[in-house]
Amino acid sequence: MKKTYSEENYLKTIYHLGKSESKVSLKAIADALENNPASVIDMLRKLKEKELITYDKTQGAILTSPGEIAALDIIRKHRLWEVFLVEKLNYDWDEVHHIAEQLEHIHDEQLAKKLDDFLGNPEFDPHGDPIPASNGKMPVYANKRLSEFEINQTGTVGSVRDTSTPFLKYLKQLNLGLGSKIKVLDKLDFDQSMVITIDDSEPKTVSSKMTDNILLITA
């Protein structure tokens, strides 16, 4: 089912709003798109008719499965084009958004895949946002240092910033690797060292030098 430029923008907006808020209200969409609420309700009815969203006043707008697939497809194209503009055409990362807003609506069966391959299948766009795969899956990414965690917060180790042998040996000795589940039990104010559990084993104390170099995927 082909979609108009405007429908695509609504789907994309509903997707983004749904990530940050639990309810996607008509008002929120109107604000995000800088459209009149009266215009928005028309479009919501149209998208509902096409079964791309569900909508009612109390639940707000929710993407159906086909709606989410469509939204992710547009976001994928948007982010791939941003990579192209920055890496190939030498735009600055802050100049590319409005161009990608146009490019994301180019329709062609093969285009996203060919562009993706040409760019070397990047996982993140120039702003660090993950690029959905063609099946809609987002790459999970490690974006938060262990040192920034609060007490009782948990996460999964996604990458390490220090790749020196001594550091990696130390991690091995701790039984900590990519995928390990970490929970912070305590944070010591005076030197920022932490008491943590690794995969629910016995608690261990680690230094701030260590926690600064571990990047985790938050839940």
Question: Which residues here bind its own copies, judged by CB under 8 A?
Answer: 88-91, 95, 98-99, 102-103, 105-108, 110-111, 114-115, 118
Minimum CB–partner distance for residue 189 and DNA (Å): 34
Q: Is 26 in the site for DNA (CB under 7 A)?
A: yes
Distance CA 199, CA 196 (A): 10
Q: Which residues contact 63 (CB under 8 A, 6 or more apart)?
A: 11, 14, 15, 18, 52, 53, 71
Minimum CB–partner distance for residue 151 and DNA (Å): 29
DSSP conformation class of 84: I
Minimum CB–partner distance for residue 201 and DNA (Å): 43
3-state secondary structure of 34: coil
Q: Which does 138 bind (CB under 5 to 8 A by kind): DNA, its own copies, none?
A: none
**CA-CA-CA-CA torsion for 79, 83, 86, 89, nearest 10 degrees?**
-110
Residues 27-86 within binding reach of DNA (CB under 7 A): 27-28, 30, 34-39, 41-44, 46, 56-58, 60
47 or 112: CB nearest DNA: 47
Span from 24-32, 125-133, 146-154, 197-205 in contact with DNA (CB under 7 A): 24-32
Instruction: Report angle CA 191, 193, 197 to the nearest 5 degrees.
Output: 170
Q: Which does 173 bind (CB under 5 to 8 A by kind): DNA, its own copies, none?
A: none
Q: Which does 99 bind (CB under 5 to 8 A by kind): its own copies, DNA, none?
A: its own copies
Distance CA 64, CA 76 (A): 18
